[in-house]
Amino acid sequence: MRVQKVWRPAAAALGAVALSLGLLVSPALADVPSDDDIEDAQDAVDDTAAQIAALEVRLAANAAARDESQMAAAIAAEKYNQAAVERDQAQADADAAADAAAQADDDVAAASRDVARIANAAYRNGGELQQIGIFLSADGLDDAIESATTFRMLGGDADEAYQRLDAAERVADVMQTRADQALADAEAAAADLEEASREADAAALTAENVVADNEAERDSLIVELAALRNTTAELEEERQNALDAERRERENAAAAAAIGAPATEREDDRDESGSGQSDSGRSESDQSASPDPAPSPDPRPSPEPQPEPEPEPSPEPEPSPEPQPEPDPEPEPEPEPEPQPDPPSTPASAGQGAVNWAMTQVGDRYVLGARGPDAWDCSSLTQAAYRSVGIHLPRTSGDQYRATANVPIGQIRPGDLIFYSSNGRASGVYHVAMYAGNGMRVHAGNPSTGVQYTSMWWANVLPMAGRP
């Protein structure tokens, strides 16, 4: 009986504990996410990732649009410069044609005076006035020749005077026609220049607007990305800047490899160009050092002059006919391949001098068509830099490419000109920069950068540089 009494309270206690535990556990079991909850959460994550990817694609697209707009502006600027050159040339041709026409008119007047002088002389001599009248009334040289009798009476002076007058009139007509055409060409070239100026201004404005719009959109995109990644806008901007730098570095490296651009380390050695000279210098010093030890052993073999039989083989005169193969100088045409080194006809010092001058302009403004002294465009800067060392270059980037010696990009040195092309050919050249050594360049980039000293950008660079 006692046992039953003890068990009942114990069972009651255990039941209470179990009930309390059930109350504690059941709510926790109710909070366990269902499969639908998990799927919704995964969808949210995927959606966030997709939004992030889309935003980053827009950032990359904005960067590409910026580059394209700037290239379009540079192409328009090159067209403007070419139009300016053509306008100047057309105006010069028009002026020269006008001068030639004026000179032809003067020649006609002089020939007319000669004919009048002869007519007056004939009148004074009497009897020949009628013949002079016949001569002057002739429709042309053929008609005058038919009146040979009259010509013979007038004499050689009248014949020559009339021929000069006829020739002068013909020349005057041709010169006037040319002058009229040259003037029309000059006016057309001026109109083309105005159109090119409008297009260049529009392209430059478009580029500026694209850059401004992209910067504004970039800021808003970075804020969105920061919210999606639960970070700050500052950290997200740093991240995007790093990603952009990595992307451009990959693009630059790929472009450099495609055209065989040299590594910076190799450029250092090449720029100094001391290796080749020092090698030759060392060889000379070695040669000078080698004879020093040579004389010391020479006294020992001095008794050995007994092998004078070596001079006895007078057959040495036989080698004298060997100089007869002096036709060997005929192979001197081999220097004909030397025209390849002819590109470096310009001393390296001239190229470095051009670089040094251009560096003094760093910080100057970029202005379309400007020619200094405080504002430049890309080709006027390189033109002035080489003018400073006594070398003439044409005005435009395209003409500078055609006027300089081609040098493989892998062999460039300071002062060589780097050309950017929109189609990979000379016909597409739109910008020129000057290689400054060590993977750097100096150039007048655009209105936002001005003249700057900056690292090389190899995209769109032609595989041949230009050496003035």
What is the per-residue pLDDT across 199-219, written as a single tens digit (0 to 9) for each? Answer: 988 988 888 888 888 888 888
| Cβ burial, residue 408 (10 Å; 0-12/13-18/19+) | middle
- Between CA 82 and CA 64 the distance in angstroms is 27
Give the residue with greater pLDDT, 25 vs 462: 462
DSSP-assigned beta bridge partners for residue 433: 418
The distance from CA 13 to its chain's CA centroid, rounded to whole angstroms, is 95
Task: Please tell me the predicted confidence (pLDDT) of residue 143.
Answer: 62
Annotation says 364 is catalytic: no
Catalytic residue, from 79, 218, 443, 467: name it: 443
CA angle (409, 413, 418) in 5-degree steps: 50
DSSP-assigned beta bridge partners for residue 244: none
Minimum mean pLDDT range among 139-153, 184-198, 371-385? 139-153
Greatest mean pLDDT among 65-74, 151-160, 303-312, 373-382: 373-382
Q: Rounded to two decimals, what is the model's pTM?
A: 0.63
Catalytic residue, from 178, 218, 431, 441: name it: 431
DSSP-based three-state secondary structure for 16:
helix
Annotation says 392 is catalytic: no
The pLDDT confidence band at residue 313, using thresholds 50, 70 and 90, is very low
- Residue 387 above 80 pLDDT? yes
- Report yes or no: 217 and 62 within 8 Å, Cβ to Cβ: yes
| CA-CA-CA-CA dihedral for 326, 330, 331, 332, to nearest 10 | 110
- Between CA 425 and CA 421 the distance in angstroms is 6
> What number of other Cβ atoms are within 10 A of residue 281's Cβ?
11
Structural domains for the chain? 44-240 (1.10.287), 348-467 (3.90.1720.10)
Annotation says 387 is catalytic: no
> What number of other Cβ atoms are within 10 A of residue 213's Cβ?
13
What does the mean pLDDT of the chain come to?
76
- Residue 122 above 60 pLDDT? yes
Catalytic residue, from 83, 119, 225, 378: name it: 378
The pLDDT confidence band at residue 330, using thresholds 50, 70 and 90, is low
CA within 13 Å, CB half, 354: 33
